[in-house]
Protein backbone atom coordinates (compact mmCIF):
# COMPACT_ATOMS: atom_id res chain seq x y z
CA UNK A 1 0.00 0.00 0.00
CA UNK A 2 1.15 3.52 -0.77
CA UNK A 3 0.18 6.49 1.39
CA UNK A 4 -0.65 9.85 -0.20
CA UNK A 5 2.36 12.17 0.44
CA UNK A 6 0.14 14.88 1.95
CA UNK A 7 -2.62 13.30 4.06
CA UNK A 8 -6.02 14.94 3.64
CA UNK A 9 -8.32 15.29 6.68
CA UNK A 10 -10.79 12.45 6.32
CA UNK A 11 -13.11 10.28 8.38
CA UNK A 12 -15.24 7.16 8.26
CA UNK A 13 -18.77 7.11 9.61
CA UNK A 14 -19.43 3.87 11.41
CA UNK A 15 -21.62 2.41 14.13
CA UNK A 16 -22.75 -1.19 14.75
CA UNK A 17 -26.29 0.25 14.66
CA UNK A 18 -25.98 0.29 10.86
CA UNK A 19 -26.36 -3.50 11.04
CA UNK A 20 -29.95 -3.06 12.26
CA UNK A 21 -31.00 -2.21 8.68
CA UNK A 22 -31.86 -5.83 7.86
CA UNK A 23 -34.91 -6.19 5.67
CA UNK A 24 -35.22 -9.95 6.29
CA UNK A 25 -33.03 -12.98 6.87
CA UNK A 26 -33.21 -13.94 3.19
CA UNK A 27 -33.10 -10.45 1.66
CA UNK A 28 -30.16 -9.85 -0.72
CA UNK A 29 -29.20 -6.59 1.01
CA UNK A 30 -27.70 -8.24 4.05
CA UNK A 31 -25.81 -5.89 6.44
CA UNK A 32 -23.13 -8.59 6.65
CA UNK A 33 -21.56 -6.78 3.69
CA UNK A 34 -21.02 -3.70 5.89
CA UNK A 35 -19.58 -5.68 8.78
CA UNK A 36 -17.15 -7.55 6.53
CA UNK A 37 -16.08 -4.32 4.83
CA UNK A 38 -15.15 -2.68 8.11
CA UNK A 39 -13.33 -5.82 9.25
CA UNK A 40 -11.37 -6.05 5.99
CA UNK A 41 -10.41 -2.37 6.14
CA UNK A 42 -9.33 -2.87 9.74
CA UNK A 43 -7.33 -6.02 9.01
CA UNK A 44 -5.40 -4.17 6.28
CA UNK A 45 -4.59 -1.30 8.65
CA UNK A 46 -6.65 1.23 6.72
CA UNK A 47 -9.02 2.20 9.53
CA UNK A 48 -6.03 3.06 11.70
CA UNK A 49 -5.38 5.94 9.29
CA UNK A 50 -8.93 7.35 9.62
CA UNK A 51 -10.96 9.08 12.28
CA UNK A 52 -14.02 6.97 13.06
CA UNK A 53 -17.16 9.05 13.69
CA UNK A 54 -20.16 7.47 15.41
CA UNK A 55 -23.32 9.17 14.15
CA UNK A 56 -26.60 9.94 15.83
CA UNK A 57 -29.93 9.08 14.28
CA UNK A 58 -31.31 11.78 12.06
CA UNK A 59 -34.24 13.70 13.44
CA UNK A 60 -37.65 13.34 11.85
CA UNK A 61 -37.36 16.98 10.86
CA UNK A 62 -34.35 16.13 8.74
CA UNK A 63 -36.22 13.28 7.07
CA UNK A 64 -38.97 15.76 6.17
CA UNK A 65 -36.51 17.59 3.95
CA UNK A 66 -37.32 14.89 1.37
CA UNK A 67 -40.12 12.71 2.69
CA UNK A 68 -43.75 13.49 3.43
CA UNK A 69 -45.29 13.39 6.92
CA UNK A 70 -47.73 10.72 5.71
CA UNK A 71 -44.86 8.49 4.61
CA UNK A 72 -42.99 8.83 7.90
CA UNK A 73 -46.19 8.01 9.77
CA UNK A 74 -46.71 4.93 7.59
CA UNK A 75 -43.17 3.64 8.20
CA UNK A 76 -43.61 4.04 11.95
CA UNK A 77 -47.06 2.51 11.99
CA UNK A 78 -46.32 -0.66 10.03
CA UNK A 79 -43.05 -1.40 11.86
CA UNK A 80 -44.20 -0.63 15.40
CA UNK A 81 -43.70 -3.53 17.85
CA UNK A 82 -47.47 -4.08 18.20
CA UNK A 83 -48.23 -3.64 14.50
CA UNK A 84 -48.59 -7.28 13.57
CA UNK A 85 -49.12 -6.13 9.98
CA UNK A 86 -52.87 -6.74 10.26
CA UNK A 87 -54.98 -5.93 7.23
CA UNK A 88 -55.22 -2.16 7.80
CA UNK A 89 -51.49 -1.85 8.26
CA UNK A 90 -50.78 -4.01 5.21
CA UNK A 91 -52.91 -1.70 3.10
CA UNK A 92 -51.17 1.38 4.50
CA UNK A 93 -47.78 -0.21 3.96
CA UNK A 94 -48.36 -1.29 0.38
CA UNK A 95 -49.66 2.18 -0.50
CA UNK A 96 -46.22 3.45 0.51
CA UNK A 97 -44.12 0.68 -1.07
CA UNK A 98 -43.76 -1.23 2.21
CA UNK A 99 -44.49 -4.90 2.80
CA UNK A 100 -43.57 -6.20 -0.66
CA UNK A 101 -40.69 -8.47 -1.64
CA UNK A 102 -38.26 -5.59 -2.23
CA UNK A 103 -39.12 -3.65 0.90
CA UNK A 104 -40.43 -6.04 3.55
CA UNK A 105 -41.41 -4.56 6.86
CA UNK A 106 -39.09 -5.33 9.76
CA UNK A 107 -39.18 -4.32 13.43
CA UNK A 108 -37.89 -0.82 14.22
CA UNK A 109 -37.51 -0.07 10.51
CA UNK A 110 -38.03 3.64 11.16
CA UNK A 111 -35.12 3.71 13.63
CA UNK A 112 -32.89 1.72 11.28
CA UNK A 113 -33.63 4.14 8.46
CA UNK A 114 -32.90 7.10 10.72
CA UNK A 115 -29.46 5.82 11.70
CA UNK A 116 -28.49 5.33 8.04
CA UNK A 117 -29.70 8.85 7.22
CA UNK A 118 -27.93 10.12 10.31
CA UNK A 119 -24.69 8.60 9.08
CA UNK A 120 -24.78 10.47 5.79
CA UNK A 121 -25.83 13.67 7.56
CA UNK A 122 -22.86 13.27 9.90
CA UNK A 123 -20.62 12.97 6.84
CA UNK A 124 -22.06 16.18 5.41
CA UNK A 125 -21.60 17.95 8.73
CA UNK A 126 -17.98 16.81 8.98
CA UNK A 127 -17.21 18.40 5.62
CA UNK A 128 -19.29 21.55 6.16
CA UNK A 129 -17.59 22.21 9.50
CA UNK A 130 -14.13 21.81 8.01
CA UNK A 131 -13.28 18.85 10.26
CA UNK A 132 -12.73 16.65 7.22
CA UNK A 133 -12.54 17.02 3.47
CA UNK A 134 -13.27 13.40 2.55
CA UNK A 135 -15.82 11.32 4.42
CA UNK A 136 -17.16 7.82 3.74
CA UNK A 137 -20.35 6.28 5.10
CA UNK A 138 -20.73 2.85 3.51
CA UNK A 139 -24.17 2.28 5.08
CA UNK A 140 -25.64 5.14 3.03
CA UNK A 141 -26.62 5.25 -0.60
CA UNK A 142 -30.37 4.58 -0.36
CA UNK A 143 -30.92 6.41 -3.64
CA UNK A 144 -34.27 4.92 -4.72
CA UNK A 145 -36.48 6.10 -1.83
CA UNK A 146 -39.09 8.61 -2.99
CA UNK A 147 -40.87 11.31 -0.99
CA UNK A 148 -43.95 9.19 -0.31
CA UNK A 149 -42.84 5.60 -0.78
CA UNK A 150 -40.01 3.10 -0.33
CA UNK A 151 -38.38 1.58 -3.38
CA UNK A 152 -35.53 -0.72 -4.28
CA UNK A 153 -34.60 -1.73 -0.70
CA UNK A 154 -34.47 1.97 0.29
CA UNK A 155 -36.60 3.41 3.11
CA UNK A 156 -35.20 6.94 3.55
CA UNK A 157 -33.16 8.70 0.88
CA UNK A 158 -30.07 9.63 2.88
CA UNK A 159 -28.28 10.99 -0.21
CA UNK A 160 -31.00 13.51 -0.98
CA UNK A 161 -31.44 14.41 2.70
CA UNK A 162 -27.73 15.21 3.06
CA UNK A 163 -27.68 17.23 -0.17
CA UNK A 164 -30.69 19.23 1.03
CA UNK A 165 -28.88 19.87 4.33
CA UNK A 166 -25.75 21.05 2.50
CA UNK A 167 -27.84 23.44 0.39
CA UNK A 168 -29.05 25.07 3.60
CA UNK A 169 -25.56 25.28 5.07
CA UNK A 170 -23.49 27.26 2.64
CA UNK A 171 -23.39 25.20 -0.55
CA UNK A 172 -24.99 26.46 -3.75
CA UNK A 173 -23.54 24.02 -6.33
CA UNK A 174 -23.47 20.32 -5.50
CA UNK A 175 -22.60 17.49 -7.88
CA UNK A 176 -24.00 14.02 -7.21
CA UNK A 177 -22.35 11.15 -9.11
CA UNK A 178 -24.02 7.74 -8.94
CA UNK A 179 -22.13 4.67 -10.20
CA UNK A 180 -24.58 2.06 -8.87
CA UNK A 181 -25.80 -0.40 -11.51
CA UNK A 182 -29.34 0.94 -10.99
CA UNK A 183 -30.38 4.44 -11.96
CA UNK A 184 -30.21 6.98 -9.13
CA UNK A 185 -33.87 7.83 -9.62
CA UNK A 186 -34.77 9.06 -6.14
CA UNK A 187 -31.99 11.64 -6.00
CA UNK A 188 -32.67 12.77 -9.57
CA UNK A 189 -36.36 13.18 -8.66
CA UNK A 190 -35.55 15.22 -5.56
CA UNK A 191 -33.53 17.82 -7.49
CA UNK A 192 -34.90 17.55 -11.03
CA UNK A 193 -35.93 21.21 -11.05
CA UNK A 194 -33.14 22.56 -8.81
CA UNK A 195 -30.27 24.11 -10.80
CA UNK A 196 -28.03 24.05 -7.71
CA UNK A 197 -27.65 20.26 -7.93
CA UNK A 198 -26.21 18.30 -10.83
CA UNK A 199 -27.06 14.59 -10.77
CA UNK A 200 -25.01 12.21 -12.93
CA UNK A 201 -25.95 8.53 -13.06
CA UNK A 202 -24.08 5.79 -14.91
CA UNK A 203 -26.15 2.62 -14.88
CA UNK A 204 -27.34 -0.44 -16.73
CA UNK A 205 -29.67 0.45 -19.59
CA UNK A 206 -33.21 1.17 -18.32
CA UNK A 207 -34.72 -1.10 -20.97
CA UNK A 208 -32.94 -4.03 -19.30
CA UNK A 209 -33.08 -3.31 -15.55
CA UNK A 210 -35.32 -1.85 -12.84
CA UNK A 211 -36.31 0.98 -12.25
CA UNK A 212 -36.62 1.60 -15.99
CA UNK A 213 -35.58 5.25 -15.75
CA UNK A 214 -32.35 7.07 -16.51
CA UNK A 215 -32.65 7.76 -20.22
CA UNK A 216 -30.38 10.42 -21.77
CA UNK A 217 -33.44 12.55 -22.52
CA UNK A 218 -34.06 13.01 -18.77
CA UNK A 219 -32.33 16.39 -18.57
CA UNK A 220 -33.92 18.31 -15.68
CA UNK A 221 -36.77 20.84 -15.69
CA UNK A 222 -36.93 24.59 -16.11
CA UNK A 223 -33.84 26.40 -14.90
CA UNK A 224 -32.33 23.01 -14.04
CA UNK A 225 -32.38 21.72 -17.61
CA UNK A 226 -28.97 20.27 -18.30
CA UNK A 227 -28.22 19.35 -14.68
CA UNK A 228 -29.61 15.82 -14.92
CA UNK A 229 -27.22 13.56 -16.82
CA UNK A 230 -27.80 9.87 -17.51
CA UNK A 231 -25.41 7.37 -19.07
CA UNK A 232 -27.12 4.01 -19.71
CA UNK A 233 -24.93 1.03 -20.61
CA UNK A 234 -25.91 -2.30 -22.10
CA UNK A 235 -25.58 -5.58 -20.19
CA UNK A 236 -22.10 -7.06 -20.34
CA UNK A 237 -20.26 -3.71 -20.36
CA UNK A 238 -16.76 -4.40 -18.97
CA UNK A 239 -14.31 -2.18 -17.10
CA UNK A 240 -12.61 -0.73 -20.15
CA UNK A 241 -15.81 0.44 -21.85
CA UNK A 242 -17.44 1.62 -18.63
CA UNK A 243 -14.37 3.73 -17.84
CA UNK A 244 -14.30 5.04 -21.42
CA UNK A 245 -17.87 6.29 -20.99
CA UNK A 246 -17.21 7.76 -17.55
CA UNK A 247 -14.22 9.78 -18.73
CA UNK A 248 -16.00 10.88 -21.90
CA UNK A 249 -18.83 12.51 -19.95
CA UNK A 250 -18.31 13.01 -16.23
CA UNK A 251 -15.14 15.16 -16.00
CA UNK A 252 -16.32 17.59 -18.69
CA UNK A 253 -19.74 18.00 -17.09
CA UNK A 254 -18.27 18.45 -13.60
CA UNK A 255 -15.77 21.06 -14.74
CA UNK A 256 -18.49 22.99 -16.56
CA UNK A 257 -20.78 22.93 -13.51
CA UNK A 258 -18.01 23.95 -11.07
CA UNK A 259 -19.41 22.28 -7.92
CA UNK A 260 -18.28 23.07 -4.41
CA UNK A 261 -18.60 19.44 -3.27
CA UNK A 262 -19.04 16.04 -4.89
CA UNK A 263 -21.37 13.47 -3.35
CA UNK A 264 -20.73 9.96 -4.71
CA UNK A 265 -23.04 6.96 -4.51
CA UNK A 266 -20.66 4.00 -4.87
CA UNK A 267 -22.85 0.96 -5.41
CA UNK A 268 -20.80 -2.20 -6.03
CA UNK A 269 -23.50 -4.04 -7.98
CA UNK A 270 -21.84 -3.22 -11.31
CA UNK A 271 -19.57 -6.21 -10.63
CA UNK A 272 -19.65 -9.15 -13.00
CA UNK A 273 -20.55 -11.51 -10.12
CA UNK A 274 -23.47 -9.47 -8.80
CA UNK A 275 -26.59 -11.68 -8.71
CA UNK A 276 -29.10 -8.89 -9.42
CA UNK A 277 -27.68 -7.15 -12.49
CA UNK A 278 -25.73 -7.65 -15.70
CA UNK A 279 -22.79 -5.29 -16.05
CA UNK A 280 -19.32 -6.85 -16.06
CA UNK A 281 -16.99 -4.66 -14.00
CA UNK A 282 -14.35 -6.02 -11.67
CA UNK A 283 -13.23 -4.69 -8.30
CA UNK A 284 -10.28 -3.21 -10.19
CA UNK A 285 -12.59 -1.14 -12.39
CA UNK A 286 -14.74 -0.06 -9.45
CA UNK A 287 -11.62 1.11 -7.63
CA UNK A 288 -10.65 3.29 -10.59
CA UNK A 289 -14.15 4.76 -10.74
CA UNK A 290 -13.93 5.73 -7.08
CA UNK A 291 -10.47 7.17 -7.56
CA UNK A 292 -11.64 9.23 -10.55
CA UNK A 293 -14.42 10.79 -8.45
CA UNK A 294 -12.01 11.52 -5.62
CA UNK A 295 -9.58 13.13 -8.04
CA UNK A 296 -12.36 15.29 -9.52
CA UNK A 297 -13.19 16.47 -6.01
CA UNK A 298 -9.52 17.34 -5.50
CA UNK A 299 -9.42 19.21 -8.80
CA UNK A 300 -12.76 21.03 -8.65
CA UNK A 301 -13.92 21.13 -5.02
CA UNK A 302 -10.81 21.66 -2.89
CA UNK A 303 -11.01 17.97 -2.01
CA UNK A 304 -14.55 18.00 -0.60
CA UNK A 305 -15.86 14.49 -1.24
CA UNK A 306 -18.73 12.71 0.50
CA UNK A 307 -18.91 9.03 -0.50
CA UNK A 308 -21.63 6.56 0.44
CA UNK A 309 -22.24 2.89 -0.36
CA UNK A 310 -25.39 1.71 -2.10
CA UNK A 311 -26.17 -1.52 -3.91
CA UNK A 312 -23.98 -4.58 -4.06
CA UNK A 313 -25.05 -8.13 -3.32
CA UNK A 314 -21.82 -10.10 -3.63
CA UNK A 315 -21.63 -10.12 0.15
CA UNK A 316 -18.34 -12.00 0.52
CA UNK A 317 -16.38 -11.75 -2.71
CA UNK A 318 -17.24 -8.27 -3.95
CA UNK A 319 -18.60 -5.60 -1.62
CA UNK A 320 -16.01 -5.83 1.18
CA UNK A 321 -13.11 -5.44 -1.24
CA UNK A 322 -14.77 -2.72 -3.30
CA UNK A 323 -15.67 -0.55 -0.34
CA UNK A 324 -12.37 -1.20 1.42
CA UNK A 325 -10.77 0.38 -1.64
CA UNK A 326 -13.23 3.27 -1.27
CA UNK A 327 -12.27 3.84 2.36
CA UNK A 328 -8.59 3.58 1.46
CA UNK A 329 -8.89 6.12 -1.35
CA UNK A 330 -10.53 8.60 0.99
CA UNK A 331 -7.60 8.10 3.34
CA UNK A 332 -5.13 8.72 0.51
CA UNK A 333 -3.99 5.10 0.52
CA UNK A 334 -3.48 3.22 -2.74
CA UNK A 335 -4.15 -0.48 -2.12
CA UNK A 336 -2.55 -2.53 -4.88
CA UNK A 337 -5.18 -4.91 -6.31
CA UNK A 338 -2.53 -7.66 -6.05
CA UNK A 339 -2.47 -7.27 -2.25
CA UNK A 340 -3.33 -10.53 -0.50
CA UNK A 341 -6.56 -10.65 1.46
CA UNK A 342 -5.57 -11.42 5.07
CA UNK A 343 -6.06 -15.04 6.14
CA UNK A 344 -7.78 -13.94 9.34
CA UNK A 345 -10.46 -12.12 7.32
CA UNK A 346 -10.93 -15.07 4.96
CA UNK A 347 -11.46 -17.39 7.91
CA UNK A 348 -14.10 -15.07 9.36
CA UNK A 349 -15.83 -14.84 5.98
CA UNK A 350 -15.91 -18.65 5.76
CA UNK A 351 -17.69 -18.81 9.12
CA UNK A 352 -20.42 -16.54 7.77
CA UNK A 353 -20.71 -18.29 4.41
CA UNK A 354 -18.93 -21.67 4.33
CA UNK A 355 -20.12 -22.40 0.78
CA UNK A 356 -18.54 -19.27 -0.75
CA UNK A 357 -14.85 -19.16 -1.57
CA UNK A 358 -13.34 -15.91 -0.22
CA UNK A 359 -11.22 -13.85 -2.60
CA UNK A 360 -7.46 -14.27 -2.46
CA UNK A 361 -6.46 -10.79 -3.65
CA UNK A 362 -7.80 -7.26 -3.38
CA UNK A 363 -8.46 -7.21 -7.12
CA UNK A 364 -9.75 -9.50 -9.86
CA UNK A 365 -6.95 -8.97 -12.38
CA UNK A 366 -9.45 -6.90 -14.33
CA UNK A 367 -8.53 -5.39 -17.69
CA UNK A 368 -8.90 -1.73 -16.84
CA UNK A 369 -6.82 -0.15 -19.59
CA UNK A 370 -9.01 1.83 -21.97
CA UNK A 371 -8.73 4.09 -24.98
CA UNK A 372 -10.26 7.50 -24.39
CA UNK A 373 -13.22 8.53 -26.49
CA UNK A 374 -11.96 10.29 -29.60
CA UNK A 375 -15.12 12.08 -30.71
CA UNK A 376 -16.18 9.67 -33.40
CA UNK A 377 -18.49 6.68 -33.43
CA UNK A 378 -17.00 3.42 -34.62
CA UNK A 379 -18.72 2.28 -37.82
CA UNK A 380 -21.36 -0.43 -37.22
CA UNK A 381 -20.20 -3.96 -37.92
CA UNK A 382 -22.13 -7.05 -38.95
CA UNK A 383 -21.81 -10.63 -37.86
CA UNK A 384 -21.40 -12.09 -34.38
CA UNK A 385 -20.78 -9.92 -31.33
CA UNK A 386 -17.25 -8.54 -31.31
CA UNK A 387 -15.02 -6.02 -29.64
CA UNK A 388 -15.73 -3.61 -32.50
CA UNK A 389 -19.47 -3.97 -32.01
CA UNK A 390 -19.18 -3.37 -28.25
CA UNK A 391 -17.03 -0.31 -28.86
CA UNK A 392 -19.54 1.03 -31.36
CA UNK A 393 -22.34 0.58 -28.86
CA UNK A 394 -20.59 2.37 -26.01
CA UNK A 395 -19.53 5.22 -28.30
CA UNK A 396 -23.10 5.56 -29.53
CA UNK A 397 -24.26 5.75 -25.89
CA UNK A 398 -21.60 8.36 -25.14
CA UNK A 399 -22.67 10.54 -28.04
CA UNK A 400 -26.36 10.20 -27.23
CA UNK A 401 -25.77 11.51 -23.71
CA UNK A 402 -23.33 14.21 -24.77
CA UNK A 403 -25.60 15.48 -27.55
CA UNK A 404 -28.55 15.58 -25.17
CA UNK A 405 -26.91 17.55 -22.37
CA UNK A 406 -23.55 19.07 -23.32
CA UNK A 407 -24.97 21.98 -25.36
CA UNK A 408 -27.00 22.97 -22.28
CA UNK A 409 -23.72 23.22 -20.36
CA UNK A 410 -22.04 25.30 -23.04
CA UNK A 411 -19.95 22.36 -24.24
CA UNK A 412 -19.40 20.88 -27.68
CA UNK A 413 -20.82 17.35 -27.68
CA UNK A 414 -18.63 16.24 -30.57
CA UNK A 415 -15.35 17.63 -29.26
CA UNK A 416 -13.49 15.20 -26.99
CA UNK A 417 -11.66 18.11 -25.36
CA UNK A 418 -14.95 19.17 -23.69
User: What average pLDDT score do residues 226-255 get?
Assistant: 98
- Region 10-370: CATH code: 3.40.800.20
111: nearest Cα among 25, 17, 33: 17
End-to-end CA distance of the chain: 34
Contacts of residue 311, defined as CB under 8 A and 6 or more positions apart, other chains included, come to: 29, 141, 153, 180, 181, 182, 267, 268, 269, 274, 276, 277
Q: What is the mean pLDDT of the chain?
A: 95
> Over the stretch 338-347, which tens digit does the pLDDT of each residue have?
999 999 999 9
Q: Range with the lowest mean pLDDT among 20-29, 84-93, 374-383? A: 374-383
Q: Are 216 and 175 contacting, i.e. CB atoms less than 8 angstroms apart? A: no
In eight-state DSSP terms, residue 308 is E
Residue 98 has pLDDT above 90, yes or no: yes
Q: Are 203 and 178 contacting, i.e. CB atoms less than 8 angstroms apart? A: yes
Residue 4 has pLDDT above 60, yes or no: no
Residue 84 has pLDDT above 90, yes or no: no
Is residue 249 very low, low, confident or very high in pLDDT (cuts 50, 70, 90)?
Answer: very high
Residue 85 confidence (pLDDT):
57
Residue 380 has pLDDT above 70, yes or no: no
Sign of CA dihedral 323, 325, 328, 329: negative
Active site residues: 144
User: What average pLDDT score do residues 262-272 get?
Assistant: 98
165: nearest Cα among 68, 259, 64, 71: 64
Residue 395 has pLDDT above 60, yes or no: yes
Q: Range with the lowest mean pLDDT among 310-319, 352-361, 370-379, 387-396? A: 370-379
pTM of the model: 0.96
User: What average pLDDT score do residues 360-389 get?
Assistant: 84
Amino acid sequence: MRQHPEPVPHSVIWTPEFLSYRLSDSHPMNPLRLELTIELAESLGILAESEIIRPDRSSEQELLRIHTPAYLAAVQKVSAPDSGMHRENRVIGLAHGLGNDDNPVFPAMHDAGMIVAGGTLAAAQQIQSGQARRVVSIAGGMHHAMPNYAAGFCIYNDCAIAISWLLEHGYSRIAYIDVDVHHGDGVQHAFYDDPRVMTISLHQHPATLWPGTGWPAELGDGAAEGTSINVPMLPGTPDSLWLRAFHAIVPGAIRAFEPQIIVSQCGADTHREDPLADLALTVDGQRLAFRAMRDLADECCEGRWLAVGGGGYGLIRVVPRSWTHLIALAAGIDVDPATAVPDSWKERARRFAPDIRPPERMGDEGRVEFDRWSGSVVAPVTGPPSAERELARIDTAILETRRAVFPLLGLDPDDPRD
